[in-house]
Amino acid sequence: MAGVAEEAVLWTSPIPAFQQVRAPEATGEGSASHWRILARAGEGTKIIPGHGPLGTKADLKTYRDMLATSRDRVAALVKAGKTLEQVTAAKPTADLDAKWGQGFIKPDPWVSILYKDLSRPAGR
């Protein structure tokens, strides 16, 4: 973020579309960058997304919260020993899908990405 003014902060697309195998944005790596951006952004900061309309700090908070909610719900099902098919059938993002699941990655593939990343052995 060196050299980035408060009024010019970069944000990625709604549901992370940059990796089909891992979901770092929801499971830790990207989430940390959201915290850093939010810490630097002022209330008047305009966030430039990779896709979609210009955003605000509030928009990025809402996005970060959606990622965390998705991650936490899938993580709970993984911890309970559910299979990918059971997790997908449970529709853990159903209440988020109208707003967030209409883009490049639809709800079931998003849940699958989270499941695969969260059920991966540590260090992989």
Looking at the domain assignment, is residue 1 inside a domain?
no
Q: Using DSSP bridges, classify how beta strands 9-11 and 55-56 pair: parallel, antiparallel or unpaired.
A: unpaired
Q: What is the pLDDT of residues 2-27, one digit of tens each?
A: 344 444 444 444 444 433 444 555 55
Looking at the domain assignment, is residue 97 inside a domain?
yes
More confident residue, 98 or 53: 98
Looking at the domain assignment, is residue 2 inside a domain?
no
Range of the domain at 25: 9-118
108 has a pLDDT exceeding 80: yes
Looking at the domain assignment, is residue 60 inside a domain?
yes
Looking at the domain assignment, is residue 123 inside a domain?
no
Which string of DSSP letters, residue by residue, matches 37-95? HHHH--TTPEEEESSSS-EEHHHHHHHHHHHHHHHHHHHHHHHTT--HHHHHHH-TTHH
Q: What is the pLDDT of residues 75-91, one digit of tens each?
A: 999 999 999 999 999 99
Structural domains counted in the chain? 1
